[in-house]
Structure 1
Amino acid sequence: MIRVFRWILVIPAAVLGYMASMFIGMSTLFAFEKFCPPDLVISEMCTAGYMHYVEAICLLLFSSLAAVLVVLLPSLVAPSNKQMVAGAAYIVGAVTALYIGLELSAYLVLLSVLASGALTLYLVHRTLTKHALICD
């Protein structure tokens, strides 16, 4: 029964990773906006020159964190076939990232997301392969 429950949780784990990254990223951005000088706040929006860079860095970092979590969490939750689950999560995430990145012309963010997801997939594969060799 627990095995079935873990399989059911694979997709919600990926969604949870994406949502957690989005929440952390938005919280970080709001925290930086709190430090905006009052005279540079117009219509509740910070117009300080540095905010453009803060927004770009937050987008880059936390979208990459989302890619890592979307690949990692389902493979941790899955009771078996963890490498296949990580690969499927990467493929679904990469297709989604390609669609969004190309639509928004966010090429640097797209490259970062694809690379961090691929690196996570490699590390999951390497860790599980090393573990399988030790257990055999």
Structure 2
Amino acid sequence: MRHDVVLRFVVMTLFCFTLTGCIHYEHKSAEGKPWDEVATIRQFDKHLSIDEIDDDTSLYWLARQTEYRVGAGRHKLSVQYAIGTGYSRPIEMTVDLVGGRTYGLYGVSSMKWWYYEVRDVETGRSAKVIEPAVTTTPSESAGQAVQ
């Protein structure tokens, strides 16, 4: 009888260790959608964690996700960099993800700064959306100052 309890405990412990490598986060934009309408972001740099997707927290502090499933389309990511036992301030980026594709979350860092990239694993193309800068002409800015 006692051996059964010990064996059951050992099996459950090994099962839990097996599951820790399979942790993923599914954003609400991917819930109930078929595979070709869901994009996957894999975490290749273990220092990085996606803190928020479209202002929804990913609960990264409960368990370190290694894979994020997000609905296809445009999303705002907020990513943090692990420094020792703490985290940096998050950096936001808007990305455009294609359903059925797998993207990698890659970190770029030096001693004083860090950044991240989200790239398609197969093609290497960046998913970052580059938004045009808003500029004003000198006549517009002068007109605003007068009013």
Larger radius of gyration: 2
TM-score (normalizing by structure 1): 0.29
Return the structure number with greater helix share.
1
Return the structure number with greater strand share.
2
TM-score (normalizing by structure 2): 0.27
